[in-house]
Structure 1
Amino acid sequence: MKVFIGGYTKKTSKGIYQADLTIKDGQASLGNFTNCVELNGPTYFKKCGNYLFSIAKNKDEGGISFFQLNPVKLINSVFQPGASPAYLGINEDKHLVYTANYHTAYLSVYHYDNDGVSLVDQVKHDSFNLGPRPEQKDGAHPHFFDETPSGKLVSCDLGNDSVDFYDLKDGHLVHLARYLNEAGFGSRHIVFNKENNYFYVAGELSSKINVVKYNEKTWEFENIATYRTIPDDYTDHNGVAAIRMSNDGKFLYLSNRGHNSITVFKIKADHTLELVQRISTFGEFPRDFNWDSSEKWVIATNQNTDNATLYERNSEMGTLAVVQKDVAVPEGTCVVFSKE
C-alpha cells in the first residue's frame, strides 16, 4: 500500500513524498520514503487514479497543479496573484476541483480533463460577521470548500464563524444559506452524516466541535451541542485542524495542534457525542491525519517536528493504538493513501 505525504517546503522538503505501508502478519510499518513529486508548497492534495491534484505556490502566486503519475508528468498549473489555497476537494464524476483560499477569501471551482485544469467560477467572501479573536480581525478566511452528501457545496469560514452553502448553476456559484457558529469559534472543517441531516463543524480557534441538525430543503438549522476537543484544564494555545468521520458513522476524529493529539468521539444514536479517547501524536502541530480504505491504519503528520505517527484503529471501540512513531518526513500537512 502506498502513502503520499506533502506539506510546506520552507525548510528541507522538496514537495510530495511517497512511502510504503507494509502489512506483515497483521502488523504494519511505514517506511521507504522517496520524493515523488517536486513541487513548491503542496500543503493539501488529492489523488484520483493515476492523477494528482495539489495546491501549489509559484513565487507571488498561488493555485493548483495537475499531475499525471507513473511516470510523473505535470499536465498544467493554474495560478492567481496572492497566497495559495488552504483546501482542495475533488469530484471525479463531474471532473470538478474545489479550493478555499484562507488568505484571499476566494472560493473557486475548476474543471479538469486530459488537457488540464481550468477555472469555472469563483466568489469572494466578504467580512460580514468577523469574530472577536485576533486571527479574525483582518477579514474573511474560508478554510474549506467541498460537497455535501447531496452534491451541494459548503464552505467553512474561520474569520466569519460561518458555514455557507452554495449551488453550482450553469457554471456560476449561487449562495443558498448560512449557518453561524458562536463568536470566536473559528469554523475550519466540516463532515456530514450519510443521511445528510446532521453536520459536525470543527472550530479551530475555540478547540470545539459543534453538532448541528439541518434540513437541506428548507435550510433550517438547529444547534444541538458543542464539545471541547481538549481537556478543560489545558490552557496553552491550541488549534483544531482536521476532522474525519468513520464510514459507519459511529466515530469522529479531530487533530489538535498545540495539545498535539487526536481526539476521538463516539457518535451516539441521538447524534450527540461522547468522548472516547485523546491520544498523543508524538510530535508538534498535527495538521492532518488520514486512514486507508479499511480505516484500520491511521497516519498523523506533525508539521513542526518533521515526523509522522502510525496507529491501528479498533473499529468497534473507535480507539487508536500506536504502532510506529518518530517516522521522519519533512513538514507534513497532508496524508493520502493509495492502493496503487
Structure 2
Amino acid sequence: MHILIGGYTKHESDGIYQFDFIGAGNEAHLEQRRNVVKVGGPTYFQKDGDFIFTIKNEDGHGGIATYENGRLVSQLLHEGSSPAYVGINKDKHLLYTANYHTGVLAVISYDEKGQLTLLDQVKHESRALGPRPEQVDSAHPHYFDQTPGGHLVSCDLGQDRVDFYDFDGQHLTHLASYQNEDGFGTRHLVFDPSGSYFYVAGELSSQVNVVKFDEENWMFQNVATCSTIPASWDQHNGAAAIRLSKDGKFLYVSNRGHDSIAVFEVQDDHSLKLIQRISTYGEFPRDFNWDEDEKYVVAANQNSNNATLYQRASDGTLALLVKDIAVPEGTRVLFTD
C-alpha cells in the first residue's frame, strides 16, 4: 500500500510525493518519501491504474493534466487559475473539475491512453453572493462530483449553494439547488450509503449541515446543523475535507485553524453527535483520507509541511500513530495499492 500527497508548489514542493505504508497496528508507519510526479500546484488529483489526473499550473496557465509513471501524457490548460477539485468516474472515464476562481464547472473525458477531451462546461453566475469577505467578489464552486443517482453535484462557497446537474454525455443541464444559510461557505459534501441524506461542510461557518434528499423529485429537508469547532474557539477556522465511513456511521471533518479533525457519530435520525476532536499535530489540515478498509487515516498539514498517521477504531475514534511526517505544502491525500 502507498500514500500519495500533493499540494501547492510555492515553496519547497516539487509536486506529488509517494510514501510506502509499512507495518500494521501500532507499528504502522510511512517510509521512503519520493517525488513521483513533478508538476506545479497539484492541490487535488485522482488516480486510475497508472494514470494520475491532477490539477496543474504552469506559466500563468491552469488546468488538468494526465501523468503516467511520472511522464506527462496529456493536458488541458487555459490562461488563469487552475481548478480546485477533480472528481472521477472510472467506469465512464470521466473527470469533473470545479474552478474556485473562474466559477467554471467542467466535464472531461479520458481514453485508454490518458488523453483528455473537454466535453462541456458551465459557469456559475454571481447571482446571490454571501455576506462574508471571501464571498462578495464572485461565485466560488469548490466541488463537482457524482450523486448516488448518477447526476452531478457542485458546492458553491461564494453563494452558499449546492447545485445539481444532468449530463447526457455531451451537455450539462441544471436540475435543482439547495440553499445553505448566508455565510455558510458551502465547500464539500458526502452522501450517506442510502443516497437519501447528504452532509455539507461549511468552510466559513465551521459547520456541517445534514440534509434529507429525494433525488427523484428534487426535494430537500434541512435536518440539523452542528459546529466542527468548540464554542469557545474565537480565532480563525475553516472547515475543509469531509469524509463519511462506508457504513454511514461516522463522519469526519478537518478544521484549518483549530488544526483538528472533528469526529461525529451519525444518529438514527442522521443528526450528528460529536465524539472526538483530535489534533492534526500541524497547521492547516486541508485534506485527510483513509485506506480501503478505513483502518488508517493520514492528514496533511499544509502550512507546517507535515503529515500525521492515525489508527481508526471500531467506535470511529482516531488514535495517533506517527506525527511529523515530512511532506511539503500538502493539500491532497490518496491511498493507493
- Whether these two folds match at TM > 0.5 is yes
When residues 25 and 42 of structure 1 are mapped into structure 2, their CA distance, relative to the original with a 3 A threshold, is closer
In 2, the alpha carbon distance for the partners of 1:260 and 1:106 equals 30
Q: Residue 109 of structure 1 aligns to a residue in which SS?
A: strand
Q: After the TM superposition, which segments of 4 or more aligned residues of structure 1 sit over 2 Å from their partners?
A: 24-27
Q: Which amino acid is 1:96 matched to?
A: L
Please say if residues 26 and 321 of structure 2, whose CA atoms lie closer than 8 Å, have aligned partners that are also in contact: no
Number of aligned positions between the proteins? 336
TM-score, normalised to structure 2, is 0.98
Please say if residues 63 and 78 of structure 1, whose CA atoms lie closer than 8 Å, have aligned partners that are also in contact: yes
2:101 to 92, 100, 103: 103
Listed one character per residue, the Cα deviations across residues 38-74 of structure 1 (whole Å, up to 9, x for unaligned) are 00000000111111100000111110010112xx321
Q: Does residue 39 of structure 2 align to residue 39 of structure 1?
A: yes
Q: Which amino acid is 2:298 matched to?
A: I
Shift of 1:24: 4.6
When residues 25 and 320 of structure 1 are mapped into structure 2, their CA distance, relative to the original with a 3 A threshold, is closer
Match for residue 218 of structure 1? 217
In 2, the alpha carbon distance for the partners of 1:59 and 1:238 equals 32
Q: Which amino acid is 2:32 matched to?
A: N
Q: Structure 2 unaligned segments of length 5 or more: list them.
A: none
Please say if residues 299 and 311 of structure 1, whose CA atoms lie closer than 8 Å, have aligned partners that are also in contact: yes
Q: Structure 1 unaligned segments of length 5 or more: list them.
A: none
Match for residue 235 of structure 1? 234
Please say if residues 31 and 327 of structure 1, whose CA atoms lie closer than 8 Å, have aligned partners that are also in contact: no
Q: Which amino acid is 1:334 matched to?
A: R
1:82 to 80, 100, 122: 80
In 2, the alpha carbon distance for the partners of 1:125 and 1:81 equals 18
Q: Residue 223 of structure 1 aligns to a residue in which SS?
A: strand
TM-score, normalised to structure 1, is 0.97
Q: Does residue 18 of structure 2 align to residue 18 of structure 1?
A: yes
CA RMSD, Structure 1 to Structure 2 (Å): 0.9
In 1, the alpha carbon distance for the partners of 2:24 and 2:205 equals 41
Match for residue 147 of structure 2? 148
Shift of 1:249: 0.6
Q: Which amino acid is 2:231 matched to?
A: D
Match for residue 172 of structure 1? 171
Q: Does residue 190 of structure 2 align to residue 194 of structure 1?
A: no
> Taking every aligned residue pair, what percent have the same amino acid on both sides?
59
In 2, the alpha carbon distance for the partners of 1:252 and 1:309 equals 19
In 1, the alpha carbon distance for the partners of 2:9 and 2:263 equals 30
Shift of 1:214: 1.4
Q: Residue 134 of structure 2 aligns to a residue in which SS?
A: helix
Q: Which amino acid is 1:8 matched to?
A: Y
Q: Residue 249 of structure 1 aligns to a residue in which SS?
A: coil
